[in-house]
Structures are given as C-alpha cells and as structure tokens.
Structure 1
C-alpha cells in the first residue's frame, strides 16, 4: 500500500489460481464493505473488502496458510 507515494504497508496475498486472472497495475479503491458476499462465486464471504477496477477486490480470509500462493478467483 502506498500513501503519498511511500510504501506504508505490505503483506502476502493470494492471487488468482489457475484459470483466474489477477489484474496488475496501480488502482484506487472505488468502494469498501465491512462484509460482502460474492454475487459471482456462490455467495462466498469477503470480509473487509476494498473494491477496485470494477468487481475486483482485496479482502480478508480465514485461509491464512494459502497466503502468498495462487488460491483465489483473481
């Protein structure tokens, strides 16, 4: 996470698994939700979602062992 052009936060993420693209680049958040349920992926819970670039979001997960490796829908 950059704040005023400075790296302020960093953490491992799980990007899209096989067949699911993760967009690359710099993005600004468009909306946030304390709890969101995916309309696209079987009502999957997406706690603390920060949406960007349309329907993509960064969100919390309980699957912390999978962090740092491809595991999501993009």
Structure 2
C-alpha cells in the first residue's frame, strides 16, 4: 500500500501546543505516523494514499495553531 509524507512548519511554543497538534492528527483516519519536533517546530505526518495534503493541513488548523508552511515530502 502506498503512502504520503507531509511536512509542516507549525507555530508551537510548548509541549501543550505539540500535544494538541498530535491529538487532532491522530483523530484523522488514515494517519499512520506523526513526528513532532518542538525545537524546530516541525510536524511530519505519514498517511495512507487516500489522505490529501489539504486534509492534513485542515486538521492541523483545527488545533488552533498557525501553519507557517508545508510541503509534500513523498
């Protein structure tokens, strides 16, 4: 099964922020892995093939955090 990997730069100032992002992403069906690095404010999301970049972006925005940038890695 094919998958996608997306990387986002998200404004997060504390572990509570990264926890909120992690929670909303893990609620999204098709997300297989979430890696969050608070130091460089990076969120890497691996998803099933049917989950689009826009879907993941919208889900991160539900956490109330500002998404500064994002890209499709794979």
TM-score, normalised to structure 1's length?
A: 0.28
Bigger radius of gyration: 1
Structure with the higher fraction of residues in helix conformation: 2
TM-score with structure 2 setting the length: 0.28
Q: Which protein has the bigger strand share?
A: 2
